[in-house]
Amino acid sequence: MSGVAIRHAFATNRKAVAITFDDGPNPVYTPAIGNHTYTHPYLTRLDEESCRSELLRTHKSIEALAGQPPRSFRPPYFDCDGRVADIAANLGYSVIGAVNGAARDWEQPGVRHIVESSRASVKPGCVLLFHDGFGDRSQTVEAVRQLVTELAAEGYELVTVSELAHPHR
Ligand SMILES: [Zn+2]
Protein backbone atom coordinates (compact mmCIF):
# COMPACT_ATOMS: atom_id res chain seq x y z
CA MET A 1 0.00 0.00 0.00
CA SER A 2 1.52 3.26 -1.09
CA GLY A 3 -1.07 5.55 0.40
CA VAL A 4 -0.68 7.83 -2.62
CA ALA A 5 -3.72 9.98 -3.15
CA ILE A 6 -5.99 7.87 -0.94
CA ARG A 7 -8.33 9.92 1.25
CA HIS A 8 -8.98 8.38 4.66
CA ALA A 9 -10.71 11.46 6.05
CA PHE A 10 -11.94 14.83 4.87
CA ALA A 11 -11.79 18.30 6.30
CA THR A 12 -15.24 19.19 7.57
CA ASN A 13 -16.97 21.47 10.03
CA ARG A 14 -19.55 18.78 10.70
CA LYS A 15 -19.25 16.16 13.40
CA ALA A 16 -19.80 13.48 10.82
CA VAL A 17 -18.41 10.10 9.83
CA ALA A 18 -19.04 7.91 6.80
CA ILE A 19 -19.52 4.20 7.44
CA THR A 20 -18.77 2.20 4.31
CA PHE A 21 -18.92 -1.42 3.22
CA ASP A 22 -16.76 -3.29 0.74
CA ASP A 23 -17.11 -6.64 -0.99
CA GLY A 24 -20.88 -6.75 -1.08
CA PRO A 25 -23.39 -5.98 -2.16
CA ASN A 26 -25.41 -7.48 0.59
CA PRO A 27 -29.16 -6.86 0.18
CA VAL A 28 -29.68 -5.96 3.83
CA TYR A 29 -26.52 -4.19 4.88
CA THR A 30 -25.39 -2.48 1.72
CA PRO A 31 -27.61 0.46 0.87
CA ALA A 32 -25.00 1.87 -1.51
CA ILE A 33 -21.41 1.03 -2.25
CA GLY A 34 -18.96 2.72 -4.57
CA ASN A 35 -16.63 1.28 -7.16
CA HIS A 36 -14.39 -1.44 -5.70
CA THR A 37 -13.35 -3.07 -9.00
CA TYR A 38 -14.96 -6.02 -10.74
CA THR A 39 -12.68 -8.92 -9.72
CA HIS A 40 -10.94 -7.46 -6.64
CA PRO A 41 -7.35 -7.58 -7.95
CA TYR A 42 -4.18 -5.89 -6.73
CA LEU A 43 -4.46 -3.00 -9.20
CA THR A 44 -0.82 -1.93 -9.08
CA ARG A 45 0.09 -5.37 -10.50
CA LEU A 46 -2.10 -4.90 -13.60
CA ASP A 47 -1.23 -3.13 -16.81
CA GLU A 48 -3.00 0.14 -17.49
CA GLU A 49 -5.59 -1.35 -19.85
CA SER A 50 -6.61 -4.07 -17.37
CA CYS A 51 -6.72 -1.60 -14.51
CA ARG A 52 -8.98 0.78 -16.43
CA SER A 53 -11.18 -2.15 -17.46
CA GLU A 54 -11.62 -3.22 -13.79
CA LEU A 55 -12.94 0.22 -12.91
CA LEU A 56 -14.96 0.74 -16.07
CA ARG A 57 -16.80 -2.58 -15.89
CA THR A 58 -17.97 -1.82 -12.37
CA HIS A 59 -18.64 1.81 -13.25
CA LYS A 60 -21.01 0.75 -16.03
CA SER A 61 -22.71 -1.92 -13.91
CA ILE A 62 -23.46 0.46 -11.07
CA GLU A 63 -24.56 3.16 -13.48
CA ALA A 64 -26.96 0.71 -15.14
CA LEU A 65 -28.37 -0.42 -11.78
CA ALA A 66 -28.44 2.86 -9.90
CA GLY A 67 -29.08 5.25 -12.73
CA GLN A 68 -25.95 7.20 -11.99
CA PRO A 69 -22.30 6.26 -11.70
CA PRO A 70 -20.61 6.14 -8.31
CA ARG A 71 -18.16 8.89 -7.41
CA SER A 72 -16.13 6.99 -4.85
CA PHE A 73 -13.57 4.32 -5.55
CA ARG A 74 -11.80 2.15 -3.03
CA PRO A 75 -8.89 0.08 -4.31
CA PRO A 76 -8.97 -3.51 -3.04
CA TYR A 77 -6.38 -3.97 -0.28
CA PHE A 78 -5.81 -0.16 -0.47
CA ASP A 79 -3.42 -1.12 -3.26
CA CYS A 80 -2.97 2.16 -5.10
CA ASP A 81 -0.18 4.14 -6.71
CA GLY A 82 -0.05 7.31 -8.78
CA ARG A 83 -0.97 5.48 -11.98
CA VAL A 84 -4.04 3.80 -10.46
CA ALA A 85 -5.05 7.11 -8.88
CA ASP A 86 -4.77 8.83 -12.27
CA ILE A 87 -6.94 6.23 -13.98
CA ALA A 88 -9.54 6.64 -11.22
CA ALA A 89 -9.38 10.43 -11.39
CA ASN A 90 -9.91 10.34 -15.16
CA LEU A 91 -13.14 8.45 -14.55
CA GLY A 92 -14.22 11.11 -12.05
CA TYR A 93 -13.47 9.24 -8.85
CA SER A 94 -12.23 10.24 -5.46
CA VAL A 95 -9.99 7.45 -4.14
CA ILE A 96 -11.25 6.54 -0.69
CA GLY A 97 -9.48 4.73 2.10
CA ALA A 98 -10.53 4.37 5.73
CA VAL A 99 -9.10 5.25 9.14
CA ASN A 100 -9.91 1.92 10.80
CA GLY A 101 -7.86 -0.53 8.76
CA ALA A 102 -6.53 -1.98 12.01
CA ALA A 103 -10.02 -3.22 12.90
CA ARG A 104 -9.62 -6.01 10.27
CA ASP A 105 -13.26 -6.97 10.55
CA TRP A 106 -13.00 -9.37 7.60
CA GLU A 107 -10.84 -11.67 9.76
CA GLN A 108 -13.57 -11.86 12.42
CA PRO A 109 -11.21 -10.81 15.22
CA GLY A 110 -14.07 -10.42 17.71
CA VAL A 111 -16.77 -7.76 18.08
CA ARG A 112 -14.89 -6.07 20.90
CA HIS A 113 -11.72 -5.69 18.83
CA ILE A 114 -13.62 -4.31 15.84
CA VAL A 115 -15.50 -1.79 18.00
CA GLU A 116 -12.50 -0.64 20.07
CA SER A 117 -10.10 -0.41 17.15
CA SER A 118 -12.60 1.55 15.06
CA ARG A 119 -13.57 3.81 17.96
CA ALA A 120 -9.93 4.71 18.56
CA SER A 121 -9.58 6.01 14.99
CA VAL A 122 -12.80 8.02 14.76
CA LYS A 123 -12.59 11.75 14.17
CA PRO A 124 -14.89 14.23 12.37
CA GLY A 125 -14.77 13.74 8.61
CA CYS A 126 -13.35 10.24 8.71
CA VAL A 127 -14.30 7.19 6.69
CA LEU A 128 -14.84 3.87 8.47
CA LEU A 129 -14.66 0.64 6.50
CA PHE A 130 -16.38 -2.69 7.10
CA HIS A 131 -16.92 -5.73 4.89
CA ASP A 132 -20.20 -7.33 3.96
CA GLY A 133 -19.09 -10.06 1.59
CA PHE A 134 -17.33 -13.41 1.93
CA GLY A 135 -19.06 -15.51 4.54
CA ASP A 136 -20.29 -14.96 8.07
CA ARG A 137 -20.47 -11.25 8.81
CA SER A 138 -22.22 -11.45 12.17
CA GLN A 139 -19.29 -9.88 14.07
CA THR A 140 -19.23 -6.98 11.65
CA VAL A 141 -22.97 -6.47 11.91
CA GLU A 142 -22.89 -6.44 15.71
CA ALA A 143 -19.82 -4.17 15.83
CA VAL A 144 -21.42 -1.68 13.43
CA ARG A 145 -24.62 -1.75 15.49
CA GLN A 146 -22.66 -0.87 18.65
CA LEU A 147 -20.57 1.80 16.92
CA VAL A 148 -23.57 3.49 15.32
CA THR A 149 -25.26 3.64 18.73
CA GLU A 150 -22.15 5.09 20.37
CA LEU A 151 -21.44 7.60 17.63
CA ALA A 152 -25.02 8.82 17.60
CA ALA A 153 -24.90 9.26 21.39
CA GLU A 154 -21.74 11.34 20.93
CA GLY A 155 -23.55 13.57 18.48
CA TYR A 156 -22.03 12.26 15.26
CA GLU A 157 -24.00 12.42 12.03
CA LEU A 158 -23.71 9.42 9.75
CA VAL A 159 -23.21 10.57 6.20
CA THR A 160 -22.11 9.16 2.86
CA VAL A 161 -18.58 9.47 1.53
CA SER A 162 -19.97 11.68 -1.24
CA GLU A 163 -21.31 14.10 1.37
CA LEU A 164 -17.81 14.34 2.86
CA ALA A 165 -15.96 14.42 -0.45
CA HIS A 166 -18.33 16.69 -2.36
CA PRO A 167 -20.14 18.75 0.30
CA HIS A 168 -21.27 21.41 -2.14
CA ARG A 169 -22.80 19.20 -4.82
ZN1 LIG B 1 -12.55 -5.57 -0.84
Who contacts 49 (Cβ-Cβ below 8 Å, separation ≥6)?
none
What is the 120 CA–ligand 1 centroid distance (Å)? 22
CB 54 within 8 A of CB 38: yes
Range 126-155 average pLDDT: 91
**How high is the pLDDT of residue 4?**
59
pLDDT tens, position by position, 24-69:
665 544 445 889 999 999 999 999 999 999 999 999 988 888 888 8
What is the 40 CA–ligand 1 centroid distance (Å)? 6
What is the 76 CA–ligand 1 centroid distance (Å)? 5
CB 113 within 8 A of CB 105: no
What is the 15 CA–ligand 1 centroid distance (Å)? 27
pLDDT tens, position by position, 80-139:
999 999 999 999 998 999 999 999 998 999 999 999 999 999 999 999 999 877 778 899
What is the 36 CA–ligand 1 centroid distance (Å)? 7
To the nearest 10°, the Cα dihedral for 158, 167, 165, 67? 90
**How high is the pLDDT of residue 58?**
92
**How high is the pLDDT of residue 28?**
47
The three state secondary structure string of the chain is CCCCCCECECCCCCCEEEEEEECCCCCCCCCCCCECCCCCCCHHHCCHHHHHHHHHHHHHHHHHHHCCCCCEECCHHHCCCHHHHHHHHHCCCEEECCCCHHHCHHHCCCHHHHHHHHHHHCCCCEEEEEECCCCCCHHHHHHHHHHHHHHHHCCCEEECHHHHHCCCC
What is the 5 CA–ligand 1 centroid distance (Å)? 18
Q: Give 169's pLDDT tier (boundaries 50, 70, 90).
A: low
Q: What are the domain boundaries of the chain?
A: 16-165
pLDDT, greater one: 6 or 143: 143
What is the 167 CA–ligand 1 centroid distance (Å)? 26
Q: Give 23's pLDDT tier (boundaries 50, 70, 90).
A: confident
Q: What is the third-level CATH fold of 16-165?
A: TIM Barrel (3.20.20)
pTM of the model: 0.83
What is the 75 CA–ligand 1 centroid distance (Å)? 8
